[in-house]
A and B are shown apart, each in its own frame.
Chain A
């Protein structure tokens, strides 16, 4: 046995930065659940490739809730606008925005719904956001373990609000890795989106402000990556229902729902304006 095998491997925490092409022809990339001699699972990396081609999805954690937004690329003018939703509700207080293979995303969210429903059956209470992220990380990971399945071609942004921690935002990758975020981005325009998210004073903005920023960031990322294609902006939020307490440390089971049409329209108008201005003056509140 070569001694290198006995060396402890560095803990792989994120697979984004690996160069990809060295895998081809080695034979180690032909089956899931197989390690290459340097300790990589190429099939998982390839699944990540599928995500990188998907429409941009972002999540913003605010002080009083969470905003999810996706760039829904429109392949044909015959499509029914407003149908073909990309952000799914899971239970009443969690939303999941996915980038990557859409059918895989549906499978993923339907599992998340089962997790939420089972949690309720067992504990008679909604599932905390971190527990949901854990469960879904575990589920994605299981699909890297066997040669009889393939990993999910999906990176999922999980946003919600629970009683213990208030707003929560997590991103689960095809490997099963899941981190908590203040601002998360995935899909084709993730680099541009991340750069913009980093400029925001997260999580100290309100949901209303995040709606405007999310629209702007999706427009910006679209402009940067898939300018030639049409797209539709889909946006949801998780926040406490109207009438409940609204103060600095907001906690409680939020409600995940679509952002009202008027607010989206206004945010899109501002986003377009800032694109035309092309300026950096978009930061003022």
Chain B
């Protein structure tokens, strides 16, 4: 007799035929994270002459539900670096609150005059992301690392695949489609950075955040913005998309009270 527990209480073979136990064994390979759960949308950033501006809204969506509306997705790391994250929020929290916090603590207790700068932190993060994707267990994020490094503004992105990319104007998520063209109008290439003032950069980023709020259904009008210069990091939480105009909505089907 078969004493294995999975054989107990089964229909008798001689009456019902051989029991099909195939569902008990999993022939599937191991699966790790296949999709993000609670997500943040775009991060946008732009270099200017003397620094970088970076912004991300405060929304964490659960599917299409606007689940949390006060999530901080920008994180200051060290003295002159800000890391912004889109994608899975819990993975972002792991990166921000575990890896980066302990990275900085370990750097600072050496007390030897060395400090991690934006390019170092960027390399570290991209290695972490790449290593996780090689384990087929990615951290489901797209990151922008903005900072002041070696007397220059620094801006680069890294994603869940370990892809790395650098440009004077960057945006993740929906912003990669909607904001980048707006940003490139102001800053087509690295050489253009020299002619962009801080005010201009902030205005452009604010404009991007407004447009993203118009057209990205997973976005929020409340966002955080940080300006990194050679001096320090200035952060502004609870920014609100300014000068909104929803006039166009009148001409679109499905908005407001309408006659068909």
Contacts and interface: CB of A to CB of B under 8 A. Distances in A.
B109 A89 contact: yes
Nearest to A121: B98
A92 B97 contact: no
A85 B105 CA distance: 18
A19 B184 CA distance: 80
Nearest to A117: B102
B106 A117 contact: yes
A92 B108 CA distance: 8
Contacts of A116: 105
A240 B53 CA distance: 31
A77 interface: no
A92 B104 CA distance: 10
A207 to B, nearest CB: 19
Contacts of A85: 111
A91 B105 contact: yes
A124 B111 CA distance: 23
A124 B105 CA distance: 13
A11 to B, nearest CB: 36
B240 interface: no
Interface string B21-54: 0000000000000000000000000000000000
B101 interface: yes
Contacts of B101: 120
Given A85-B111, A258-B111, A92 B98 contact: no
Nearest to A95: B109
A120 B101 CA distance: 10
Interface residues of B, number: 9
A49 interface: no
A167 B98 CA distance: 26
B98 A89 contact: no
A88 B109 contact: yes
Contacts of B98: 120-121, 124
B108 A89 contact: yes
Interface string B106-118: 1011010000000
Nearest to B109: A89
A92 B98 CA distance: 15
Contacts of B97: 124
A91 B109 contact: yes
A121 B106 CA distance: 13
Interface string A99-130: 00000000000000100110011001000000
A92 B105 contact: yes
A223 B210 CA distance: 69
Contacts of B108: 89, 92
A113 to B, nearest CB: 7
A140 interface: no
A162 B132 CA distance: 35
A92 B111 CA distance: 11
A238 interface: no
Contacts of A120: 98, 101-102, 105
Contacts of B102: 117, 120-121
A116 to B, nearest CB: 8
A91 B109 CA distance: 7
A90 interface: yes
Interface in B86-105: 97-98, 101-102, 105
Contacts of A124: 97-98
Interface of B: 97-98, 101-102, 105-106, 108-109, 111
7 contacts: A89-B108, A89-B109, A117-B105, A117-B106, A120-B98, A121-B102, A124-B97
Given A113-B109, A121-B98, A124-B98, 12 more contacts: A85-B111, A88-B111, A89-B109, A90-B109, A92-B105, A92-B109, A116-B105, A117-B102, A120-B98, A120-B102, A121-B102, A124-B97
The 3 A-B pairs with the shortest beta carbon distances in the complex, nearest first, are: A89-B109, A92-B105, A117-B102
